[in-house]
Structure 1
Amino acid sequence: MKITPTKTPLVIKKMFPNYIWDIPTEQKTIYLTFDDGPTPEITHWTLNTLKQYNAKATFFCIGRNIEKHPDIFQDIINEGHSIGNHTYNHLKGWKTQKQEYIDDVLKTQSLIEQQQTSKLFRPPYGKIKPKQANELIQMGYKIIMWDVLSFDWDATISNAACLENVISKTKKGSIIVFHDSLKAASNLQYALPKVLEHYSNLGFSFKNIVIPD
């Protein structure tokens, strides 16, 4: 049974106003995000699928995966997508000391900044202590959370349920979480093309996240 809701409740957004949960707009715009790559077996498929719909997205990359697959990381940038920091070791903030957490973020940041300037950050699992978050915000990071979770990584939900999670909850300005990871591949490969087709037919566009300083 899922404890984390598919749609982030308004009360949670109000409790943590310094985090970015969605991007309010009157335009028909959706913000797709992909966590945990780059992954050879799935990231290129994701890029190719996005390209078919002229869709841009934001990829929250794990530092160790950037080091392992620098060519795929460069392909993400070359396709015009935004990059975000997802720590080097996919750390769970609630179980990590502040300085260790910050150092892990900075290790990934040094890899990102070899190719792209970005201060977007998403905590793995959405779990981050207030002191960790406050220090990152003071350093200029924008902490990007989400409005809608696809639960694509959850092997207990069906392809159809993954798709329904997104279709039933997304609105203008929603930030949606997918994963370009092996664990999520089956659900992602089913749901992503259908999400792109559904919202394209409704006149929506898919943009990467760019937050002004």
Structure 2
Amino acid sequence: MHLHRMPGLVQQLFPDCLWQMPATAPPTLYLTFDDGPIPEETPFVVEQLAKYGAKGTFFCVGDNLRRHPEVARLVLEQGHRLANHTYHHISGWSHSRAHYLQDVARCQELLRELQPEARPLLRPPYGRITPGLARELNRTHQIVMWDMLTCDYDREFAPEACLATAIRLSRPGSIVVFHDSLKASPNLRYVLPRYLAHFAERGYRFERL
């Protein structure tokens, strides 16, 4: 069983986190990509987005930023946004507050060199964060969760089923999570082009956060 949406009770515990955007006309989806940037997958994502004039938000692992700054610059050159996914992709449930904050700050230092911004975005890996940690981080970051998780990283989730579910559960204003990672590659490469085509044909726009 895949948990594509966070239960309402969880959302109530984190009222200052961003779960979805307002529905607009024309309808808009906010595609996000976690765990990159890496040369094997991120350029593919950028290429697919360009075909539809789509903009996205890339939640970057700091260590990948360190190793592949040229891929991060490609993302920026194409008009997309970089955001924080911690330096080591760590869980807020299994590390001390001090350790977690340090990891976020280390990633943000690299992001600041590439993309200065007033209030940066942060997505906690796995969506795992405590209410206290969220309150502290919200002083400096906008924490972004999601309205629809594609579960593209699950190798046992057939690409066709992944696509059908992503289409069925997306709605105007959805913040949608994909992963530009090696683990997600089989589903990502099947789902993303077809997902973009499906919603573009129905008059949707794709914007960055």
TM normalised by structure 2 equals 0.95
- In the TM superposition, what are the counterparts of 1:185-204 in structure 2 within 5 Å? 185-204=185-204
**2:23 aligned partner:** 25
**2:124 aligned partner:** 123
Q: Tell me, what secondary structure is at the counterpart of 1:50? A: helix
Please, what is the CA RMSD of the aligned residues?
1.1
User: Which region of structure 1 is more displaced relative to structure 2, 146-155 or 13-22?
Assistant: 13-22
- In the TM superposition, what are the counterparts of 1:92-111 in structure 2 within 5 Å? 92-111=91-110
Identity %: 42
Q: Tell me, what secondary structure is at the counterpart of 1:134? A: helix
The CA deviation string for residues 19-63 of structure 1, in whole angstroms up to 9 with x for no partner, is: 100001222000000000011111101100100111000000000
Does residue 48 of structure 2 align to residue 49 of structure 1?
yes
The CA deviation string for residues 165-204 of structure 1, in whole angstroms up to 9 with x for no partner, is: 2101011100000000000000000000011000000000
The count of residues paired between Structure 1 and Structure 2 equals 206
Q: CA deviation at 1:76?
A: 0.6
- In the TM superposition, what are the counterparts of 1:1-213 in structure 2 within 5 Å? 1-2=1-2, 5-27=3-25, 28-118=27-117, 119-138=120-139, 140-209=140-209
**Structure 2 spans left out of the alignment, 5+ residues:** none
Q: CA deviation at 1:9?
A: 3.5
Q: Tell me, what secondary structure is at the counterpart of 1:48? A: helix
Residues 149, 165 of structure 1: 8 Å contact kept: no
- Which consecutive aligned stretches of 4+ in structure 1 deviate over 4 angstroms post-superposition? none
Q: Tell me, what secondary structure is at the counterpart of 2:138? A: helix
The CA deviation string for residues 72-126 of structure 1, in whole angstroms up to 9 with x for no partner, is: 0111111100111000000011000001000000000000000112410000000
TM normalised by structure 1 equals 0.94
Residues 46, 180 of structure 1: 8 Å contact kept: yes
Partner Cα distance (2:81, 2:72) in 1: 11
Partner Cα distance (2:165, 2:151) in 1: 8
Q: Tell me the amino acid that sits aligned with residue 37 of structure 2.
A: P
Residues 122, 145 of structure 1: 8 Å contact kept: yes
**Structure 1 spans left out of the alignment, 5+ residues:** none
Q: CA deviation at 1:205?
A: 0.3
Residues 57, 81 of structure 2: 8 Å contact kept: yes
Partner Cα distance (2:57, 2:165) in 1: 19
Partner Cα distance (1:104, 1:14) in 2: 26
